[in-house]
Amino acid sequence: IDGNAFYNCYSLQKITIPDSVSTIMNTVFGECYSLQEITIPNGITEISYGAFGYCSNLTSITIPSSVTSINDFAFRHCTKLTSIDIPDTVQSIGKNIFYGCSELVNVKLSSNISTISEGAFQGCTKLKTITIPNNVTSIDAWAFRDCTSLETMDIPDSVTLLGQQAFENCTSLESVKLS
């Protein structure tokens, strides 16, 4: 589906993508404020830049095991998204992927990612805990900035880079374990 195909379709509430689609291009559903539900078929390999950005009524999304990369800002400001399960087939997640997802509480990350990208969870104010996979070597700048409900963080010994202000303004952070 080509970039911006449904951009600013304010009344769009539900979409089912056919199995023949392999890529969701840049901002294809961006600012579809009423979108609540989406079914992504197995066969999609990439979720592109800002694909679902500002879909502020999107409550859940299932990412199929065919997806290998999720690019920058893919779910930015999906303010009603409460949980996400990123399958182990995903090898990279982009910058600011969940930026401003203020209701996000439950996150399961792929065990095959190596980087928590810049601003990945910035502003996820209800996120209390997250498990960093053992393959992660880098937690980039601002990755968890403004996660004001984050209480604990276990950072595996595989992490060799902890970016600037990665945990800035995590005002509820009580315990950090550096392995």
What are the tens digits of pLDDT across the range 51-95? 999 999 999 888 999 999 999 999 999 999 999 999 999 999 999
Structure token pair of residue 61: 């999304």
Q: List C-alpha distances in Å: 133 to 2, 32, 90, 130.
A: 33, 32, 12, 9
pLDDT at 98: 98
What residue ranges of the chain have pLDDT lower than 50?
none
pLDDT at 39: 81
pLDDT at 89: 97
For the chain, the three-class secondary structure string (H helix, E strand, C coil) is: CCCCCCCCCCCCCEEECCCCCCEECCCCCCCCCCCCEEECCECECEECCCCCCCCCCCCEEECCCCCCEECCCCCCCCCCCCEEECCCCCCEECCCCCCCCCCCCEEECCCCCCEECCCCCCCCCCCCCCCCCCCCCEECCCCCCCCCCCCEEEECCCCCEECCCCCCCCCCCCEEEEC
pLDDT at 90: 97
pLDDT at 176: 93
Q: How much is the pTM?
A: 0.94
Structure token pair of residue 159: 């992490």
pLDDT at 23: 83
